[in-house]
Amino acid sequence: MIEIDKIRYPELERIANLKPNPEILLGQEIFWTVKRDGSNIGVYLDDEDNIQLRSRNLPIASDMFYSGFNKTSHVDAIRDMILNERDYGDEIVVFGEMLMKGRSPTRIEMHEDYDYVVFDIWSTKQNRFLHYNKVYQTCYHFDIPVVDLYGTCNVSTIESLYKFKDEMIAKAKDNSMEGVVGKVWAELPWNCGEGAGTKRGIVYFKEKQDLPSLEKIPRMEEKGKIQLPILPDSEIYGAIEKVRTDIGNDFTDIKIAMPLVAQYINEECKKHNCCAPRNIFQYYQQRIRDIQIEGE
């Protein structure tokens, strides 16, 4: 039985915020995939081989997402794929973007129907996320959609890395997508915490079209009261959608939803070193209106 509480999708930083530094990506094969605008939902099988869904924060997603997932055409195929991998000695958790019908969480995409697109597979046998090639191959045999691969690169300078990043962001913008996710699976240089050397693992990062290019912004230091930038709309709506993912139909109950909306937006502010806008209730109201329009 999978210990689903221990298998969670990592939070993604931007390139400029990677530890110990962005140069960790140099000389590595980087796969750049599209970042779809939906809800992060993991799929696994319980003790009776029934499909279960987890959200980013909870081992069991809300009924709303079970309902949406069951309206896609991939339910049986995903179950068969998980059972097939079990026959080969591996227990997997499928991670994908749950695309609910209607306006997407950050209002970038409009979904005509319910869909589910895989972006990662966790292997308990390997104790890591599988390479994109393996994810694509595994899903291909069961006709399950996988996020598009926009490009690959292997560069030796940080300038070349950021130049290619800009090309990938431009491609996402041309396709009306939120941004891109970069992924590296390799023996990575490591010189903090555990000492110098290499560390087997992954590095994931994200870049979005509505965020500034940190590497191109002039920098200075000044003493005084710290004034942080406002959290971007996409991050605000993303935090609000996480609340909806966790509490389902209670999302329209202001007394239940708003404290969580404030909490999740505050967490995103800390993560991105930003401050929250004063009118977060208006963002919540806008998401409610979007949902009501979808239901008409």
**What b/e string do you get for 184-217 counting C-beta neighbours within 10 Å, with b at 16 or more?**
bbbebbbeeeeeeeeeeeebbbbbbbeeeeeeee
pLDDT single digits (tens) 112-164: 899 999 999 999 998 889 999 999 999 999 999 999 999 999 999 989 999 99
- Residue type, position 217, single letter: I
pTM of the full structure? 0.72
Domain 4-215 in CATH 3.40.50.970 = no
Confidence of residue 86 (pLDDT cuts 50, 70, 90): very high
Dihedral sign from CA coordinates of 122, 128, 130, 132: positive
pLDDT single digits (tens) 234-268: 999 999 999 998 998 899 999 999 999 999 999 99
pLDDT single digits (tens) 28-61: 999 999 999 889 999 999 989 999 999 888 888 8
Give CA–CA dist 205/41, Å, rounded: 18
Cβ(240)–Cβ(247) below 8 Å: no
